[in-house]
Amino acid sequence: MLLVLLFYICACSADQEYDYSSAVDSLLELIPLQRYHYGNLSAFADKVEAKLSTLRRALSEMRPVLQAAETQQELFVGNPLRAYSLLRQLHHDWPNWLDFVEEPVGAEEIKHFRSLELMLPNQTDMANAVIGLEQIRDMYGQTERDLASGLLHGKQHNIQLSALDCWSLGRHYFHRKRYVEATVWLGLTTDRFNVSEEDVYAVQSFHRVELCQLQAASLMRQNRNEDALAAINAALEILPWDMRLQSLRSRLQNRWLVRPRLEFAEEPRPPADDVQRGCRGQYPSKTRLHCRYSWTPFYERLKMEELMLDPHIALYHDVVSAKERTMLQNYGRMNLTLDAQRLLAKHCPLPESIPVVQSLHKRLEHMTGLSLSNSEGWLITNYGIGGFFGLHKDYFNEIEEALRGDNRLFTIQIYLSNVSQGGYTVFPHVEVAVKPQAGAALVFYNLLDSLEGDLRTQHYACPVIDGDKWIATKWLSAKEQLVSKSRK
């Protein structure tokens, strides 16, 4: 395992950022890294335990001799054999014990820890992960307590955030001056604080007094002075003689007298907007639409589900086989890069020359009656923690179209994986929501009959709650479709 991880280090430049949080595929790299660190720390613990065992065994042998010496001191040193043994121990043994105690434990393991520091997630990863959690919270109407308890969009997951997780989030929001959210997360930290784990918390520089102080600071910035005073009093119960805490209490008491406590009622959550309703599966069903089979020379039949007639939005089922999806994902895994526009996602272009793409082109052309030639190349995308893509249009505006000399008439989006929760593609202007279904192809017009952009086709990629979302997207040239029709 160490050789594999060191290979990754050698393959990357020292200043490379890994962007773990931007794609589930990148997050997978953290599992072997965590496994190695666990094994390395376990090996370090074994060596510490072995050293401690040696010390305990030596002390157990020394203890009865020392007790005998202290009980009958003159008789003990009066015996030449005991006297010699005492001299030898103090002259020879104790310097050796000092060397043994001072000898570093687990130097090799410590070296291994240091060698992998460049591969650890950075502050940007942590900040992006918080953004992802915020997207899930807001888009699906969750509370911080829901997130902490693992209740995501009505489904209870077998995971809860620990006291250290909540502490990290509380500090994150405090440093960004978002004190209401900081207070909530710090309160959840208090709920999850386990006194029996304080020695482990101390390794992470996490102490109850510091928690109380940060709670008080966050509450004071909201003018919740009485609550802040309660937090400081809790800290003084742990360190009653701490002059700094006593001074803070005095100042807070004076401030409270001047500025009495304000009542803060919990603000009601605003009603869901059109995008949020779509992501939550709250659009009304369209009963007038239907499904039918589309026959092609390459596939015996494909089930086409008409989701909207105007604008035309259709979902073709079972377009891409499991083998083809695996091939496309494997190519993506080797070539994903961070997308500056797609927040919490990575993507890569897909060459048109590979056989699976050529076969897919023929199938899609027969399926839709559209030409895929001379269009933009495929783009593979993998989403990360709470991965989403905000409300956007696929067509170009007039200036962009004039510069490019073309526009995007159609979008074809192929779902390469299922998603357990979230990740819908929603069209809020027409209230259409599409759940990712592995192998299905979503096809929709971007332009009106006049070839002007159709605002109704604006769409939103909802945050992924649970799962690994992969898609492949292609935008079809409007000019090519007109040329293709003229040829016919």
Instruction: Return the residue matching tokens 């060459």.
Output: 351
Query: Do 352 and 377 form a contact (C-beta atoms < 8 A)?
Result: yes
Q: Which residues pair with 415 in a beta bridge?
A: 471
Prediction pTM value: 0.83
Buried b (16+ CB within 10 A) or exposed e, 452-475: ebbebbbbbbbbbbebbbbbbbbb
CATH number of 123-258: 1.25.40.10
Query: Do 286 and 271 form a contact (C-beta atoms < 8 A)?
Result: no
Reported confidence tier of residue 11, pLDDT bands at 50, 70, 90: very low
> How far is residue 66's CA from residue 82's CA, in Å, rounded to a whole number?
11
Q: Which residues contact 130 (CB under 8 A, 6 or more apart)?
A: 169, 172
Mean pLDDT across 114-135: 89
Reported confidence tier of residue 14, pLDDT bands at 50, 70, 90: very low
Q: With 70 as the cut, is the pLDDT of residue 386 above it?
A: yes
The DSSP secondary-structure symbol of 269 reads P
Mean pLDDT across 249-256: 77
- Inter-residue long-range contacts of 230-234, CB under 8 Å, 24+ positions, other chains counted: 234/208
Q: Tell me what pLDDT residue 341 has.
A: 61
Query: Do 130 and 123 form a contact (C-beta atoms < 8 A)?
Result: no
Reported confidence tier of residue 12, pLDDT bands at 50, 70, 90: very low
CATH number of this structure's domain 290-487, picked from the four choices 2.40.50.140, 3.30.200.20, 2.60.120.620, 3.40.50.2300: 2.60.120.620
List the structure tokens of 128.
């992006």
Burial of 303 (0-12, 13-18, 19+ CB in 10 A): middle
Chain-wide mean pLDDT for the chain?
Answer: 86
Mean pLDDT across 33-56: 92
Q: Tell me what pLDDT residue 255 has.
A: 66
Q: With 80 as the cut, is the pLDDT of residue 45 above it?
A: yes
Reported confidence tier of residue 172, pLDDT bands at 50, 70, 90: very high
Q: Tell me what pLDDT residue 488 has.
A: 54
Q: What are the pLDDT digits (tens) for 433-483?
A: 999 999 999 999 999 988 899 999 999 999 999 999 999 999 998 888 776
> Helix or strand or coil: residue 465?
strand
Q: Which residues pair with 392 in a beta bridge?
A: 459
In the sheet with 389-392, reading across from the earlier edge strand, the strands are 389-392, 459-461, 425-427, 432-434
Q: With 50 as the cut, is the pLDDT of residue 408 above it?
A: yes
Residue percentage of the chain with pLDDT more than 90: 51
> How far is residue 306's CA from residue 289's CA, in Å, rounded to a whole number?
6
Q: What are the pLDDT digits (tens) for 310-330?
A: 999 999 999 999 999 999 999
The DSSP secondary-structure symbol of 145 reads H
Mean pLDDT across 108-122: 86
Reported confidence tier of residue 421, pLDDT bands at 50, 70, 90: very high
| CA dihedral (220, 224, 229, 231) positive or negative | negative
Reported confidence tier of residue 392, pLDDT bands at 50, 70, 90: very high
Q: With 80 as the cut, is the pLDDT of residue 17 above it?
A: no
Q: With 70 as the cut, is the pLDDT of residue 288 above it?
A: no
